[in-house]
Structure 1
Amino acid sequence: MYTTDQIQKRVDEYISQFKEGYFSPLSMMARLSEEVGELAREVNHYYGEKPKKTTEEEKTVEEELGDIIFVLSCFANSLDIDLSEAFDIAINKIETRDKDRWTHKDN
């Protein structure tokens, strides 16, 4: 298993071996949108009303989530953003803003 720091380093090691390097932010956004669309398609096949065609390639929700993590790591690396720090900002905001939004479980 990997930490976000390890994921970002591994992705950077992979991308750094190519002259082309990271895509531009706009291209990265398009690529992330494409991967999220592929995840939506898989979720629809597994949990929705649209079964796969017999000719369609077998993919899994897990595989698509992995693709999203890879592209998200590329995006973050290309902009010199630490995903752990970005997550910390997001979770602190959510825990503050939404702390009383949902019904708490009785312990």
Structure 2
Amino acid sequence: MSKQIYHTNEIQKRVDDYISQFKEGYFSPLSLMARLSEETGELAREVNHYYGEKPKKPTEQEKTVEEELGDIIFVLTCFANSLDIDLSEAFDMAMTKIETRDKNRWTRKDLSS
């Protein structure tokens, strides 16, 4: 079974289709920020379990870093949709800034070998 590959516009539409089913709609930006912080904390916990010094207790539910990243993408998409922000445009602006600002910041790999 092959996995579906989504582009940001498809992600935003899928989330909007889901949220649009409910009268409550999107949460407020402040609530979405709190949810994003919560999900980031859950990701940090999973990373600490897998790569840090704090293994899971036998009674703790098995989650994955992948699952937590997916949760962050969902909440981030809700945030963008609620503010009518195109994630592709936001990503492009961020990458342009980073590629310009940090172009000589790191040691480049020698691609000739």
Q: TM-score over 0.5 for the alignment?
A: yes
Is 1:90 the counterpart of 2:94 in the alignment?
Answer: yes
- Counterpart of 1:2 in structure 2 is 6
Find the aligned partners of 1:72 and 1:57 in 2 and give their Cα distance. 24
Structure 2 segments unaligned to the other structure (5+ residues): none
Q: Offset at 1:101?
A: 0.1
User: Where in structure 2 are the equivalents of 1:14-33 lying within 5 Å?
Assistant: 14-33=18-37
Q: CA deviation at 1:95?
A: 0.1
Distance 2:47 2:9 in 1: 28
- Tell me the TM-score normalised to structure 1 length: 0.99
Structure 1 residue 20 displacement after superposition: 0.2
Distance 1:54 1:23 in 2: 35
CA distance in 1, matches of 2:24, 2:59: 34
What RMSD in Å do the two structures reach over aligned CA positions?
0.3
Is 1:40 paired with 2:44?
Answer: yes
How many residue pairs end up in the alignment? Answer: 107
Distance in 2 of aligned mates of 1:88 and 1:2: 17
Alignment pair present for 1:76 and 2:80? yes
- Partners of 1:32 and 1:48 in 2: CA distance: 22
Question: When the two structures are superposed, what TM-score results if normalisation uses the length of structure 2?
Answer: 0.94
1:2 deviates by: 0.2
Aligned letter for 2:42? E
Q: What are structure 1's unaligned runs of at least 5 residues? A: none
Deviation at 1:57, TM superposition (A): 0.7
Instruction: Write the distance in 2 (CA, Å) between the matches of 1:103 and 1:45.
Output: 31
